[in-house]
Amino acid sequence: MTQRSRIAIVTGASRGIGRAIAMELAREGAGLVLAARSADALARVAEEAEKAGASAILAVAADLARPGEPERVVSAAVERFGGVDILVNNAGATKRGDFLTLSDADHLDGFALKYHATVRFCRAAWPHLVAAGGTVVNIAGIAAQTPDAEFTIGGPVNSALLNFTKALARRALEEGVRVNALCPGHIVTDRLHTRIEVHAKQHGLTLEAARESLRAHYGIHRFGEVGDIAGMVAFLCSPQASYVHGTTIVVDGGATPGL
Ligand SMILES: NC(=O)c1ccc[n+]([C@@H]2O[C@H](COP(=O)([O-])OP(=O)(O)OC[C@H]3O[C@@H](n4cnc5c(N)ncnc54)[C@H](OP(=O)(O)O)[C@@H]3O)[C@@H](O)[C@H]2O)c1
pLDDT 10s digits, 5-51: 999 999 999 999 999 999 999 999 999 999 999 999 999 999 999 99
Residue 221 has pLDDT above 50, yes or no: yes
**In this model, does residue 2 exceed pLDDT 70?**
no
Pick the atom of ligand 1 nearest to 113's CA.
31
- End-to-end distance of the chain based on CA atoms, in angstroms? 48
How remote is the CA of residue 29 from the centroid of ligand 1, in Å?
A: 24
Q: Compute the average pLDDT of residues 202-223.
A: 96
pLDDT bin (cut points 50, 70, 90) of residue 194 is very high
> Is 1's pLDDT higher than 50?
no
Beta-bridge partners for 35: 11, 60
Task: Say yes or no: CB of residue 152 within 6 Å of ligand 1.
Answer: no
Report how far residue 6's alpha carbon sits from residue 218's, in angstroms, rounded to the nearest whole number. 37
Choose the residue to mutate in 17, 19, 21, 32 for probing ligand 1, maximizing ligand atoms within 8 Å of C-beta.
Answer: 17
What lies within 8 Å, CB to CB, of 225 at 6+ separation is 187, 188
Ligand 1 atom nearest the C-alpha of 64 is 32
Beta bridge partners of 58: 33
| 93 contacts: CB under 8 Å, gap ≥ 6 | 110, 113, 114, 191
Q: What is the mean pLDDT of residues 82-100?
A: 97
Average pLDDT over residues 221-237: 98
Of the candidates 127, 129, 125, the one whose C-alpha atom is nearest the C-alpha of residue 117 is 125
**What percent of the chain has pLDDT above 90?**
98
Mean pLDDT of the chain: 97
* Atom number, ligand 1, closest to the C-alpha of residue 224: 3
Cβ atoms of 122 and 50 closer than 8 Å: no
Q: How far is the CA of 166 from the centre of ligand 1 (A)?
A: 22
- Predicted confidence (pLDDT) at residue 115 exceeds the cutoff of 50: yes
Indicate the pLDDT class of residue 84, thresholds 50, 70 and 90.
Answer: very high
* pLDDT, mean of residues 73-80: 98
Whether residue 18 has its Cβ less than 6 Å from ligand 1: yes
Average pLDDT, integer, range 159-173: 98
- Nearest residue by C-alpha to atom 33 in ligand 1: 36
Q: Does ligand 1 have an atom closer than 6 angstroms to the CB of 65?
A: yes
Query: Which of 32, 33, 89, 90 to probe ligand 1 with, by most ligand atoms within 8 A of CB?
Result: 90
CATH superfamily of 7-187+225-250: NAD(P)-binding Rossmann-like Domain (3.40.50.720)
Q: How many angstroms does the Cα of residue 1 sit away from the middle of ligand 1?
A: 39
Q: Ligand 1 center to residue 176 CA distance, Å?
A: 29
Q: Is the CB of 15 under 6 A from ligand 1?
A: yes
pLDDT at 72 over 70: yes
